[in-house]
Amino acid sequence: MAPPILAQQERATICTLFTELGPDAPTLCEGWTTADLAAHLGVRERRPDTGPGLVWPPLAGYTDKVRRSVKGRTPWAKLVEMVRRGPPALLRPVDGPMNTVEYFIHVEDVRRAQPNWEPRQISEELANALWDRVGPGGMAKKVPATVVIVSPGRTDKEGGTGPRLVLSGDPGELTMFGSGRQAAARVDITGDAALAARLRDAALGI
């Protein structure tokens, strides 16, 4: 289980980016600026009624309506401060498992939407936490292949059936790939070229 400090570190990183870039910077989340992303993060932690809409499409419209409302009525500095404060007391015990991967991905959504980005150095502790959560299962559902994920110094993970597709990269890059950010993830794929192309274009993540 990821310790809370990792989530707190990623939270601080994204708030620094928000402050540096302002509310109108692009992100990898299609159609969202940094203000949209900040509102999403604030609503996600403070409005449990919006949670179902994050995973169940029929309720997505309501969740998005709340996010847009919070974005529209909250000054930018207060929106960033809402994210920086973290979850309410009731959720703080699960801050690590709830937010470490989420905030890592959204930090990279901001970073990688800017010109000339490069992968950042992350701690071994964060890399291990990401590796614990990344898996081939969701990818293997998208292609008729045995998907194998490989990262230096770690035990390979595989899932699915069929020809082997081997995805190689650091845990952070594999996390971005598996969350649907394939175009922005530096992951090498070896195996059947057509299946590899299909996986790179697949709708991955939630």
Query: Looking at the structure, do residues 82 and 106 belong to the same domain, yes or no?
Result: yes
Residue 95: per-residue pLDDT: 87
Query: Looking at the structure, do residues 50 and 148 belong to the same domain, yes or no?
Result: no
Query: Looking at the structure, do residues 66 and 161 belong to the same domain, yes or no?
Result: no
**Torsion 126-118-181-113 (CA) sign:** positive
Query: Looking at the structure, do residues 32 and 101 belong to the same domain, yes or no?
Result: yes
Q: What is the mean pLDDT of residues 164-192?
A: 97
Question: Band of the pLDDT at 178, cuts 50, 70, 90?
Answer: very high
CB 101, CB 181: distance < 8 Å? no
Report pLDDT digits (tens) over 45-67: 998 889 888 888 898 999 999 99
Residue 4: per-residue pLDDT: 86
Query: Looking at the structure, do residues 101 and 26 belong to the same domain, yes or no?
Result: yes
Query: Looking at the structure, do residues 147 and 86 belong to the same domain, yes or no?
Result: no
- Is residue 118 situated within a structural domain? no
Residue 1: per-residue pLDDT: 67
- Is residue 132 situated within a structural domain? yes
CATH number at residue 135: 3.30.1050
Please say which residue of 111, 141, 173 terminates a domain.
111
Residue 78: per-residue pLDDT: 97
Residue 52: per-residue pLDDT: 87
Q: Per the structure, how many domains does the chain have?
A: 2
